[in-house]
Amino acid sequence: MRGFRVSAFRLPMNFQTHFSNWVLLRARLLWLTLGIAAFATVNAIASLDERYSFSLPEQELVDSLDSFSEATGINIVASSRVVKGITAPAITGELSGREVLNRLIAETDLIF
């Protein structure tokens, strides 16, 4: 019995071309995704400085963060285990998103 020869197996040329194109497409999609994520981050930072009308009662921090997200369109990601049991102060007025977040977490060890 003869040994297996690696050179005996070759991919068709069109497969190699399609595979190369597929890899190139994946790389371009990755860069596009990273660009969109960076753009979204820049927009979220800019949105933090916009002023919004708030009327948040004293309540659980998780509820205040949900209300903040609804009012501003900025999604806040926080572990429920971390924010559970924390009471947020009442906040009312025309304030920037940054001011509200700072007030919501002022008496905690949380940062944003």
Instruction: Using a cut of 0.85, tell me whether the model's pTM lies above it.
Output: no
pLDDT tier for residue 76 given thresholds of 50, 70 and 90: confident
Nearest alpha-carbon partner for 62 in 80, 49, 44, 39: 80
Find out whether 89 and 62 touch, Cβ atoms under 8 Å. no
Percent of the chain, pLDDT > 90? 26
Instruction: Give pLDDT, residue 58.
Output: 97
Compute how many other C-beta atoms are within 10 angstroms of the C-beta atom of residue 96: 15
pLDDT value of residue 69: 87
Per-residue confidence at 10, pLDDT binned at 50, 70, 90?
low
Residue 39's pLDDT is 46
Query: Which amino acid makes up residue 34?
Result: L
pLDDT of residue 14: 57
In degrees, rounded to 5, the angle at the alpha carbon of residue 74 between the alpha carbons of residues 72 and 76 is 125
> Given the structure tokens 């991919």, which residue do they identify?
11
How does pLDDT run across 22-40, given as a tens digit for each residue? 666 666 555 555 554 544 5
